[in-house]
Chain A
C-alpha cells in the first residue's frame, strides 16, 4: 500500500496510468465479489479498458447476462431510481461533504467558545480580541451554563427538601472583585474533580446537552450520568443560522 494521496485527476503519465488502472480495476472487482458474498446479493461489473478491446467483467459473461436481464426486467422507474452517473454521483458527494463540513465547523466553533469562556474566567484573558459575533456566542454559552446551574440548584432543592439552599441566598465567601485573579485562588482548597468534562470524545455530553436542554422541554434522565440527556438531532444551536433573539445575532455561516 502506497498510502500516497492521489490527486483525483486524469493521470497523464502513460505508464503510471496503466499501473493504476490494473491495480484499481483488480481491487474494484474484488470489492464487488466480496459484497456479493458477504451480503448474498447479485451484482455485476463491467470495466472497459483502453488497452484491450474486450471489457473486463465480473462475475463472468454468463453471470453478467443473468444480472442484466434481471435488471432490464424491472420497470423503468425501479431501474433509474437508484441509478447514478458520474456527474450526479459527484454532486451527491459534494452535498454530503458540505453537510459534514458545516456540522464540523459548528462543532468546532462551540468547542472554541467553551475554551474562550474558561480562558477569560481563569487565565484572565481579555475580551478585547473578540468581535461582536464572538461576544454574542460567548454570551449565549454563559446563559446556557447559568441555566444548567439553575437546574442543578433546583434539583438539589428537591433532593434536600431544605430551605437553606435557595439559589438566591447570598454567597458565603469572598466577593469576586477581580474575578479573573481571585477565581483561581478560591479553588485552591477544593479537591481536584474528575475530568470527564466537555472535550471527552466518547461522551461529549456537557456542551451538547447544554444545547439540547434549550430545545427540549422535559428533563429526562440520561443514560449513565444522571441528569444528562443524550444529544438530540434537532437542537437549536447558537453557532448557526437560527437565532431568534435579535441581540444575539449570529451569522456565523453567512
Chain B
C-alpha cells in the first residue's frame, strides 16, 4: 500500500549533505528525467540522449531512438544516409513504440481507477466505523466483546458454508437452470 512520504520540499540548489537522501534523490530524479525525456521524444518526435553518472560512478543512459544512434549523429559530421532497410526498421520501431505507449497508458489509467477505488473504500470504512463503533481492533476489545464477536463470526462462517453449498447445488447438472448465471468463480 502507498505510504505517504514527507511530501514535496523546496530544495536548496547545492550539493546535498545527507548521503542517504542524496542517493534517494538521485534515483528519483534520474527516473523522472528519463520519463520526461521519453515523453518529449514521443510528443514531438525528436531524438534525445541523456547520460548521467551516479554518485557511485555508474553510468545511466537514455536515448531515443537509441543512445548509440544519437551519439553517432552528434559525434559524426555527416549524417548517415537512410537506406531502404533502415527506413523499414525505423517504421517498425515507431509502430512498436506507439503500441507500447498505448499499453502503458492503458495500465496507468487502470491504476488510477484502482487508486480512486481505494480512496472510496477508505471513506466508506470511516463512515461505517462512525456508525458501528464496535468495529474496533481486536486488541482493544474486552474478553466479553471478543467472545461475542467470535460467536458472530462463527455464525457467519456457518452461513457462508451453507450459502456456498446452495450455490454449488444450483450449478450442478441436475438443476441446470442456474448454470449460465453462475459466476466464473470456479474459473469456468
Which residues of A does B touch, CB under 8 Å?
6-11, 17, 20-21, 24-25, 27-28, 31-32, 34-50, 55, 64, 67-68, 70-71, 74, 78-79, 81-87, 89-91, 93-94, 97-98, 100-101, 103-105, 107-108, 111-112, 114-115, 117-122, 127-128, 130-136, 138-139, 142-143, 145-146, 148-149, 152-153, 156, 165, 167, 171-173, 176, 179, 183-184, 186-187, 190, 192-199, 201, 204-206, 208, 225-228, 249, 251, 254
Contact = CB atoms under 8 A, between A and B. Distances in A.
Contact of B121 (A111, A249, A254): A111
Contact of B59 (A48, A49, A71, A153): A71
Given A25-B40, A198-B125, 9 more contacts: A24-B40, A39-B16, A45-B48, A45-B51, A79-B61, A86-B66, A104-B111, A118-B132, A249-B186
Given A48-B70, A149-B149, A156-B143, A115 B128 contact: yes
A52 B53 CA distance: 28
A103 B139 CA distance: 27
Contacts, number: 343
Contacts of A118: 128, 132, 135
Contact of A132 (B75, B97, B167): B167
B108 A49 contact: no
A165 B143 contact: yes
B160 A127 contact: yes
A34 B110 CA distance: 32
A6 B114 CA distance: 20
Interface in B1-31: 1, 4, 11, 13-16, 22, 25-26, 29-30
A105 B107 CA distance: 12
A121 B156 CA distance: 7
Given A9-B101, A43-B52, A115-B128, A84 B148 contact: no
B61 A24 contact: no
Contacts of B179: none
B36 A41 contact: no
A195 B130 contact: yes
Nearest to B75: A68
Contact of A115 (B32, B97, B125, B152): B125
A135 B167 contact: yes
A9 B42 CA distance: 6
- Main secondary structure, interface of A, reads helix
Given A90-B101, A176-B155, A198-B129, A28 B167 contact: no
B51 A44 contact: yes
Contacts of B29: 31, 34-35, 38-39
A179 B155 contact: yes
Contacts of A167: 147
Contacts of A176: 148, 151-152, 155
Interface in B137-176: 137-141, 143-157, 159-161, 163-164, 167-168
B125 A111 contact: yes
A43 B143 contact: no
A227 B139 contact: yes
Contacts of A46: 48-50, 70, 74
A85 B63 contact: yes
A87 B96 contact: yes
B104 interface: yes
- Closest 9 A-B residue pairs measured CB to CB? A132-B185, A199-B125, A193-B136, A131-B183, A133-B185, A90-B100, A85-B66, A43-B52, A48-B47
A41 B57 CA distance: 8
A94 B14 CA distance: 34
B87 to A, nearest CB: 17
Given A24-B39, A25-B40, A104 B107 contact: no
B121 A115 contact: yes
Contact of A41 (B55, B118, B139): B55
A39 B26 CA distance: 6
10 contacts: A39-B26, A46-B48, A46-B49, A46-B74, A83-B67, A89-B38, A94-B104, A128-B163, A135-B167, A226-B139
